[in-house]
Every structure is written in structure tokens, then in C-alpha cells.
A and B are shown apart, each in its own frame.
Chain A
């Protein structure tokens, strides 16, 4: 028995012992015998013809072992970096999918596009040689913004992609929406930009590759959120390495946020190169290199219209978006602004007709892909902003208009007009809870106090829902997914009763080693300390799709729960034999197998021992050993949601927005570890606040240079930007996951940007301000106030 720490408890995180004592094991900590250093030479131009590369000076530089370019890749007939999703337009025409070579061939298409890989004895020598590489570029005009990219005459990235449009995607009933708009009493309109973001995990990307000629096996250590997927994509589709000859290890990883859930060209190049030079190679990105090579997020330009009847009921919603893909299609790229965006435009409302058109556009920028929230923050932002615009224009209170349109708790399961069916939820309950927690009734007092100091105070709401727990494979397959999205877990009970779990998700900050151990401790009645969670190594873990889309607990935890159930089921058979009872009479409770209604009992440890020392064991009908595996493919997405309320104070003299209060009441289903959930909510909210107030990836139109290319110019949210947050959960149980869980990794990032911007607009509404684009920087707010002709009184 011992120390069971189960569901609902908040033990300190197991993994923090090693992290907080400096004993983590990250890729850049790993050293291999004979290891060399690799450096990527990247394009300094946004768009250029690659006329030739002269390797001679670099090759002659001290310590240089090899210099590889796109020509070498072509000569070895290696594959293009694959895109995991294939979307189609309304007529079923597949998206344009130009090749994405791992080292540029013929052209470079963004600043940071890789043109060569230099391998030397030391990083210093590799860097010195990289500077000697002569690359002959014919510089072309760059196009970086989506509006500019689709204009006639815009620079064209690919010969066979007219107007740079990858796909003209749509969702929903266009005719029904048009009909509803004709009947509308009021139409609210909104144009907005969803700003481009850079993920900035604290650990930069890194990789080590090694080839063992004796076994003809490759090993890649990489900063990845999904090592098995890298093994599949890279081995099967890029490098033609059989799966059994390729091991991918993602050890401790210092944050991902989506940035590390793609198969990157660097991984393929370094693995391929390791065999060519017959030496292990290590590459560690600098922060600056990450800025021009880590996949970016968001970057939409949107026109939205909401049709309402005279009572403020939503009749129809129409959204037209241009979404930036960057220079090539990344692993999930085209899926994010389409399948993870359009289906969320229903929000928590009963809007009967929705139509969404998304033009997915190539530009001379870093490829854009999933970043925490991925599509859902963008959808939530459009919807929650336009609800406020409609309320303001119709003179209806912002909370009231939400109530009038919210899906009532009793109406679940609720089928939206945009594919998804919400299984459970209580948006009104979250709203009511948040109104109290945020002390909204005394907001007027606080606003007056701010006014007395010359400040404008505003309150903003975001009542949102998201879809996560990626994903039901069959559903995803219909939408264009080219892989499955299930998860797997193996529960290995040792002869002494301790447990090792091998799971296909990846822990890079989420606390899986703790949360999953709690599930096992609860279900098997074993000590929390006696459960270890193994992940991130294709040689140790059977299979897995990794961690992203708030899926680890929802899908991986479900697989773990199922595998644990199988252990109990087998344990009952063993116990029935040992206790000389019928299997149906064996019950398992608190770590003991017993015969119902008797005091005959066998502990979990005794059963484990019997399974591995099967002297008295039903070998004729039962295999020895106690290890079970389960794969779980969800039947639906999960739909966490909630209500976020932001309160800001604006200094009209400088335009500075200060977030002064933040309240979140979220429905994340069953909570396994409240402390970890709270931490996820805190982190997610701060990331969303970062998008709303600070973060912006800015490119120079024409040259394609990234102007916000370092932490000196790209503003990340900091501790002193945040007030103490009030976070709480108001959970309804997911009806289809084994434990009722919904996932919590992204809710904060999804709910918060709209809440913050709605608060900023509220603070400035009396001046006629109706919208503020993100990030709401002091410069931008001051300019809005200038245009609003605000008389700023002298003090």
C-alpha cells in the first residue's frame, strides 16, 4: 500500500527535483564520443535565387569536416519535408503543396531558410567556416504580409502557386448565412489583425545525430514534443531509413508551446550528415537563430460580420480570413487556420448559420504553424471581439448579449453548424462564477478611483470554448490528417510491485510525471513514489503521437487508464487462482485483491510477485508477467471553455495599458492535480496577455528582414506585467473520456487575448474607440487617442 496520492491531490511535481537541482538532461547536455559540431548557414535574404555556392574557402578552413548543400541533398535523392495535413478547397481541389527541401534548392524563401550545413571539430571552427561560405544570391523582392501577397503583381514564391494562394478553404453554409444576413435587424462588422507570434521556449532547439555502422542504426536526440512522429516523418518520408533502424530520443525539453511539435529540416540534415561523416554531430540553435527558424504562430487578417435580430440574437456569422503560411508548408501548417479555426467560430453561442472562408497564403517569412492554442485563440478573438462590437452598437450590455445567445447547460450535447458537437459544458455557470470572482458589481467604484488619477479603467469579457484532446483519428482523417492521432501507454508492473509506465506523450513542462503517476497510484493503490513515467524515446516507448493540442491527459491519460484497467483485470485472474475463487468474485480495492464477502486477500505486490514467479499459477490459461498496453483513439474532441474577465487601466498620457485584475473560471473537466492545472492556467493566460499587449513579430515589407529578431525587440510578458490572477474551475465532466477530463494546456492562451482587448476597448469606448489591434502597445494606444482627439489636460 504505502503512500497513495491520487486524483484530486496536489503533490509537488516529481520532475522538479531534477530540474530545480540542475540535474535535468537536455539535448545540449549530451556528449557523444568523437562528437563534431554543426552550424547551419541561413539565407540573409527574404527572397532570392540561389545561383551557386562556393564551398572551397569554407572547406579549407581549420577543422572543417564537411560542407553540405541542397545539391548534395538532391544528389542523394532525399525527400521533401512532409506536411501532415492536406486540405482542399470548396470544389475538392487539393491545396498547393510545393516541395520543402531540407536545404534550399534553386531559391530561398525566407530570412533563415537553410542553404548549407557546415561540420567541423568545434563550434568555433564551424562558425568561422560558415562565414567563409560564398553564396551567390540574386535578390528578389520579398512579400511578407498576406494582403500584399495576394495583390496582383506581388512577388511570387512558387511558379505553380498563382497569387501565392496555397488553398482557398471554406466551411459552413454560405447560402444560409446570406439569407440570414438579409433578414438581420443589425449587422456588426469588424476588421482585425491577429498578430504574428514567436514561441520562445526557454530552451532553444538542438539536435545530436549519430550513426552506428555495426548495427546500421541511426540515433537522433532532438528537442521534440513528438519523437515517434519525427521517426516516422523523417525516416519513412525524408531519409528513407527503415523505422527499426532509427531511434529518436527527446530527453528533457525546456518548453515547447508548439514550436517543437514539427519535423524540422535541421533534424533531417543532421541525421543524414552523421552517416556521411561517420561521426556524431551536435547542433544547438542560438536564440537569434531560433527567431528566424522556429515556426511562428497566428498572423491573420480578418473581416468578420455578425447578423443579429432586433433582440440581439445572433442569426449568422461570416468570417473571411487571410492566413499566413510563411515560405513553405510546415508539419501542421495548413491545418491550423482552417480545421482548428473555422469549427470554433460557433463559440458558446447558438448562432444557427456560420460561414468561414480562409485563404491560406505563402509569404517570404518563416513558416507559420501551431503555437499554443493554434487556431482557437484566433477564432475566439474574432468572435468575442465582434460580440462586444455588436453589443455596443445595439446598446445591449455585453454580459446580457452573451447570456441571450449562450448554449444552455441542458442543451448539451450541442451540434454546431460548423462540424463539431460539444459533449458537455456550462458557459453560463462559468460566466456567473467569474462575475462574482472578479467583483464586477464594484467595478464602477474602481473605475472612478482610476479616473481620479487621470486613468481610464476598462473591463473585458471572453466567454469561450475550444476543441482539444487531438484527436479522433477518423474525424481528423476526413478533415485531411495524414496520420492517426491516438495515444498509447504501457503499464509495466515489476515483480516487486513498482510500476513503470511507458507513454507516447512528451513531458516538457506540463508535469506529466506527476499527473500520470497520480492516476496509476489511485487506480492500482500503489505508492506515488513507486510509479515512474517514461517518455521521449522510441526505443523505450512503444509508440506515440506526442504532446500538443492539450491532448496528453485527454488521450494519453485515457490510454494509461485503459492499460491500468487491463492490469487489474489480469490481476483478478491471478488472484482468483491463488485465492481459489471464481474470477467474478474477486474485487480490487485500495491495492488489494479480495474475495467478495470474505477476508481472503492478496496484495497487489503479492499478485505481481506471483505473475513473475509463477510456481502456483494458471499457466495453461494465463501468460506469466504483469504488463499491459492500451491504445486509445478518442471518439470526439473535448471542449474546455470558460469565462475570462480582464481589467485594465490605461494611462492616456503615455498610452500604457496596465493589466490590473485578471479572473478566469474554466471548465476543464475532471482535475487530476489542481496545483498543476492552476499552473497551466497561469502560464496560458500570461501567454495570451503577451499576445494582447506585448508580442509582435514584425517583418520589413520588401526586404523580408525580421525587425523583431531578438528579445531586445520582441517583448515577452514578464512577471511584473501581471497582477495576481484569480483562477478557478467550474467543471462539467467530459462524457466520452475515461476520467471525464477535458485538457487545460491551452485554455488560458485561448481565452485571454479577447478578454484583455475587450477591456482596453471598454476603457477607451467613451472616446469613440471601437477596436484596438494587438498588441495594444503604448505607441498604438497613444496614436489611437491622438486620432480620437483626446484633450490631454496638463497636470
Chain B
């Protein structure tokens, strides 16, 4: 790793100011992706802006029809939250499947969503639940937030402060883990609301995406059998040494069925 400056601001505006004023500065939340990248010299930011002193970004609140999770809340806290387990058990289950215990204790929801790794779990939950990304400057709907491979709608200096999740009638997540990394080779989040079903897929392509035919079918009949025959197109899906695109496409259907099963159980 190369030397860098380290800042630990106490207020969000101070953090935003540092990020906009220092070129090649990077925001660090849990650091579960950024720190290894720096250690391998694949990234060499001149300054790190650490959000760990911003206590207001931690914690989970019950707003009735929604729950709000602070951006700096670690995965382990979400997984163990009685509130999340009660209101959106599928989201608590998703958090419990991320990485390993060390990653879950350090990694944060804001960091994961801002990084938008194409095989990360949270983007599926955020898009699948139609959550709102609350930033230092605005609210962004999940459908407008994820822009493909590591790309998001965030502007320079814009900091995620929380994610607001609508409470669904039912929701479930099913993940087929990549054998070595245990990231999602394919992960599918399904959520049933009064006005319809949302299905979001991570791992299969360059970014998280929805599957409208499955959403239509599940809106009519929220049962695995409703989508068993729906195959998604291989085009645009990822092929690598672990899985070719056609296998990933197949797994989307299998994991979607299992996510519905999980939501129903």
C-alpha cells in the first residue's frame, strides 16, 4: 500500500467537503472492499475519509410502513436485528449470508450499496424491495440508483446516509454462492407488496437487474410454480471460469423459485 492522508470527520458536511476538495480521495465505511484493493496496490487514493465517527449513520429505526437502516450499520447488526427479522425477514437472511463473520462485523450496508459490486447481496435486497437510498443531498429510488458494474447515481461528494425499506407483505432471498469467493454467483430477492411483486437478481450480470416476466407471473400467483417455466435470456449475463452465462440464466429461475419458497416459509 502507498501512503495516504486519513481523515475522520465528525459531521457529514465536513466529510462531503473533504471528498469534493481532495482529488483522488475515497470514502471508507467498513473498508471490506477498499482496504484489500489498496493493499494490493490496485487503488492508491491520496486521502481516505472515514465515516466511522459519524454516529448518526448507525442504527435501525421503525417508521411503521418503512424501516430505515443507517448507512454505517454493519451486516451482522442487520442480520441480528429483531426489528428486521420481524418486518423483513428476507432482508435479515440476506445480511446473514454476506461474506464471513469478520466481513459481517465490519462491512456496512451503505458501503456495499455505494460500491455496487455486481455479485454483492445488498443491491438485490435494495432493488427487490424498491428501497430508497437516502444521501447527504437527496432521496434516490433504487430503480434509478444502480447503473451497472460498480456504477451508481451518486455524485462526487454525495454520501449515503441511510437506506429506507418499505415493509413488504412477504420477501425472500436465495443465493447460490460462488464456490471460492462465496459472493453471489446468482442471488435473487423477491418481495410481494399489495400492488405487486418485485424480483431483483444479483451476480448473474454486470449489475443488479429486475425480471419483469417473473414479477408479472408472481403478482398473479405468488408461488414457485408460477415462474418455473420462465427462463431469462443468456445475453448480457456473465461468463467466467466458474459459470457460463447459460448456467447463470438457469440458476436465476432456480434461485427465484427458492426465494419465493423462502418468502412463503
Q: Which chain A positions have C-beta within 8 A of B244? A: 779
Dominant SS among interface residues on chain B = loop
Option from B3, B180, B225, B241 in Cβ contact (under 8 Å) with A794: B225
A698 to B250, CA, bound (A): 24
Closest B residue to A653 by beta carbon equals B254
B21 close to A (CB within 8 Å): no
Nearest-Cβ distance from residue B171 to partner chain A, whole angstroms:
20
B164 close to A (CB within 8 Å): no
Interface with B: A208-216, A271-279, A492-500, A706-714, which one?
Answer: A706-714
Q: Which chain B positions have C-beta within 8 A of A696? A: 241
Q: Which of A124, A128, A777, A779 has the most CB of B within 10 A?
A: A779
Contact A714 B180 (CB under 8 A): yes
Contact B1 A124 (CB under 8 A): yes
Contact B2 A124 (CB under 8 A): yes
Contact B181 A713 (CB under 8 A): yes
A124 to B251, CA, bound (A): 44
Nearest-Cβ distance from residue B48 to partner chain A, whole angstroms:
17
Q: Which of B176, B241, B257 has the most CB of A within 10 A?
A: B241
Closest B residue to A131 by beta carbon equals B41
Option from B1, B41, B179, B250 in Cβ contact (under 8 Å) with A694: B179
Query: Would you list which residues of chain A between 640 and 678 have a CB under 8 Å from chain B?
Result: 653-655
Contact A778 B180 (CB under 8 A): no
Q: Which chain A positions have C-beta within 8 A of B1? A: 124
A715 close to B (CB within 8 Å): yes
Option from A124, A131, A777 in Cβ contact (under 8 Å) with B179: A777
Q: Which chain B positions have C-beta within 8 A of A779? A: 242-244, 247
Query: Would you list which residues of chain A between 277 and 322 have a CB under 8 Å from chain B?
Result: 288
Query: Would you list which residues of chain B between 215 and 235 have a CB under 8 Å from chain A?
Result: 224-225, 228-229
Contact A795 B257 (CB under 8 A): yes
Q: Which chain A positions have C-beta within 8 A of B229? A: 794
Q: Which chain A positions have C-beta within 8 A of B40? A: 288
A127 to B2, CA, bound (A): 9
Q: A712-B180, A714-B180, A715-B179 are in contact. Are A128 and B243 (CB under 8 A)?
A: no
Contact B2 A128 (CB under 8 A): yes
Nearest-Cβ distance from residue B131 to partner chain A, whole angstroms:
28
Query: Would you list which residues of chain A between 120 and 139 have a CB under 8 Å from chain B?
Result: 124, 127-128, 131
Contact B180 A782 (CB under 8 A): no
Q: A124-B1, A782-B250 are in contact. Are A713 and B228 (CB under 8 A)?
A: no
Closest A residue to B250 by beta carbon equals A782
Q: Which chain B positions have C-beta within 8 A of A777? A: 179, 242
Nearest-Cβ distance from residue A726 to partner chain B, whole angstroms:
26
A783 close to B (CB within 8 Å): yes
- Please report the total number of B residues contacting A with Cβ < 8 Å: 22
Contact B41 A698 (CB under 8 A): no
Nearest-Cβ distance from residue B40 to partner chain A, whole angstroms:
7
Q: Which chain B positions have C-beta within 8 A of A713? A: 180-181, 241-242
Q: Which chain A positions have C-beta within 8 A of B176? A: 654, 778
Q: Which chain A positions have C-beta within 8 A of B2? A: 124, 128
Contact A654 B228 (CB under 8 A): no
Query: Would you list which residues of chain A between 672 and 717 have a CB under 8 Å from chain B?
Result: 694, 696, 698, 707-708, 711-716
Q: Which chain B positions have C-beta within 8 A of A778? A: 176, 179, 243, 247
Binary B-proximity of A394-423 (CB < 8 A = 1, otherwise 0) = 000000000000000000000000000000
Contact B225 A795 (CB under 8 A): yes
Option from A131, A655, A716, A795 in Cβ contact (under 8 Å) with B224: A795
Contact B180 A707 (CB under 8 A): no
Contact B251 A654 (CB under 8 A): yes
Q: Which chain A positions have C-beta within 8 A of B241? A: 696, 698, 707-708, 713
Q: Which chain A positions have C-beta within 8 A of B224? A: 795
Binary A-proximity of B163-194 (CB < 8 A = 1, otherwise 0) = 00000000000001001110000000000000
A795 to B229, CA, bound (A): 11
Q: Which of B3, B41, B247, B251 has the most CB of A within 10 A?
A: B247
A534 to B225, CA, bound (A): 66
A277 to B180, CA, bound (A): 42
Query: Would you list which residues of chain B between 61 and 104 have a CB under 8 Å from chain A?
Result: none
Contact B247 A783 (CB under 8 A): yes
Closest A residue to B243 by beta carbon equals A779
A795 to B254, CA, bound (A): 10
Q: Which chain B positions have C-beta within 8 A of A715? A: 179-180
Option from A653, A654, A711 in Cβ contact (under 8 Å) with B180: A711
Query: Would you list which residues of chain A between 744 and 795 have a CB under 8 Å from chain B?
Result: 777-779, 782-783, 794-795
Closest B residue to A286 by beta carbon equals B40
Q: Which chain A positions have C-beta within 8 A of B250? A: 782
Q: Which chain B positions have C-beta within 8 A of A794? A: 225, 228-229
Q: Which chain A positions have C-beta within 8 A of B251? A: 654
A712 to B33, CA, bound (A): 13
Selected A-B contacts with CB under 8 Å, 28 pairs: A124-B2, A124-B3, A653-B254, A654-B251, A654-B254, A655-B247, A694-B180, A707-B241, A708-B241, A711-B180, A712-B180, A712-B181, A713-B241, A713-B242, A715-B179, A777-B179, A777-B242, A778-B243, A779-B243, A779-B244, A782-B247, A782-B250, A783-B247, A794-B228, A794-B229, A795-B224, A795-B228, A795-B257
Known A-B contacts: A127-B41, A694-B180. Give 13 more (CB < 8 A). A131-B41, A288-B40, A653-B254, A654-B251, A654-B254, A707-B241, A777-B242, A778-B179, A779-B244, A782-B250, A783-B247, A794-B229, A795-B257
Task: Please provide the 4 A-B residue pairs with the shortest distance between their CB atoms, ordered closest to farther.
Answer: A794-B228, A715-B180, A715-B179, A712-B181
